Amino acid sequence: MSRGPEWFSSSRSRPADARGCPQPSPDSARARSPNLLARLTSPPWVQGGLDGGWLPWREQQGGREGTIGVVASPVATAGKHGRHRLSQRRQVATLGTAEAVGRLTYAAAGDLGAAEAPQPVVLGDGADWTTTQASEHFPEAVKILDWPHLWRKVQAAVRALQPGRSTARRVWRQQQYAVLLALLWAGEHVEALPQVRRLGPATGEVPPAVEAAIGSLESHQDWVGNYAGWQEQGYPLGSGLGERAGVRVIQRRMKKRGRRWKRANAPAGVALRVHWINAAWEPAAASHPLFGGTP
């Protein structure tokens, strides 16, 4: 189980200290490359993610969660679908609090030129800790609720009301999917919410999946908007980058069969992993044409 991902692009300035970032805690790690970063100016946006992963812990039953942040700068389109090539990345990680990884990710975004990004954008799955960090560090951002996360909840609500494989039930589900998809994708969440409410039974217990979908739409009205328009502007609507960072930083190195970590050793393992990933990324970023290199 892991914390939900959150994505952002910010136009806020860096934290006001000597280096433009907060000092990391003993449980935190971040790698930098000032020479390369100095050559990056005015990216279209700086997107990033917050995620987490549980570690087996010797001193704590059930383990402990490590939190991860990743920021990336999409500087060029690639492929026939207009996807963005991420030529710059920064990983941050901590075994501390959500506030700690939020500060580190904010500082890493500043490193990649977030202060010059023309449009701040935040994308999250609606988890309380991610929305809190977004509001604290990127209050002026356009907020986007992760589309796959939202649509899965709506689909689960429809299936809970009419489960089964009969033709009639399948036709009913497809009809509801078509109506709700059109409303939500166009940003008509005000009209979609009563539509979901009407799907529930008039009497009796409401299925938990329906309650979850209604709760998500009610509590994240500021995060649900015109997804079609956001897609046309090139904004990310999914959370793959943050989830992938969690796999690279925590899963591959820290979670092995039979391995359990001690408080004295785990922070060093996280720090070395983050440093190695960032160091391996720098040569690839330096070879990008944006910086005068040859791919």
pLDDT tens for each residue of 158-190: 999 999 999 999 999 999 999 999 999 999 989
What is the pLDDT confidence band of residue 19, given thresholds at 50, 70 and 90?
A: very low
pLDDT of amino acid 157: 95
Of 53-57, 132-136, 282-286, minimum mean pLDDT range: 282-286
pLDDT given for residue 181 in this prediction: 96
156 and 89 inside one domain = no
Give residue 295's pLDDT.
53
Tell me: do 140 and 166 sit in the same domain: no
pLDDT at 183: 95
- Residues 36 and 139 grouped into a single domain: yes
- 113 shares a domain with 72: yes
| pTM for this entry | 0.71
How many domains would you assign to the chain?
A: 2
Looking at the predicted structure, is the pLDDT value of residue 32 above 70? Answer: no
Question: Are 193 and 252 members of one domain?
Answer: no
Residues 30 and 132 in one domain: yes
- Check whether residue 90 and residue 192 sit in a common domain: no
What is the pLDDT averaged over residues 41-53? 63
Q: How confident is the model at residue 253 (pLDDT cuts 50, 70, 90)?
A: confident
Note the pLDDT of residue 153.
94
Same domain flag for 11 and 129: yes
**Per-residue pLDDT, 25:** 42
Question: Of 88-102, 115-129, 174-188, where does the model show the most confidence?
Answer: 174-188
264 and 132 part of one domain: yes
The parent domain of residue 275 ranges over: 6-146+238-291
Average pLDDT of the residues in 258-265: 75
pLDDT at residue 80, rounded to an integer: 66
Q: For residue 157, give the nearest of 140, 180, 136 by alpha carbon.
A: 180
Per-residue pLDDT reduced to its tens digit, 144-160: 888 999 999 999 999 99
In the prediction, which pLDDT does 224 show? Answer: 92
How high does pLDDT run on average in the chain? 74
Contact assessment for residue 84 and residue 94, using Cβ atoms and an 8 Å cutoff: no
Judgement on whether residues 114 and 197 belong to the same structural domain of the protein: no
Residue 81 and residue 16 in one domain: yes
- On whether both 59 and 165 belong to a single domain, the answer is no
Beta-carbon contacts of residue 17 (< 8 Å; ≥ 6 apart): 23
Last residue of a domain, one of 221, 250, 281: 221
231 lies in some domain: no
**Residues 238-251, mean pLDDT to the nearest whole number:** 78
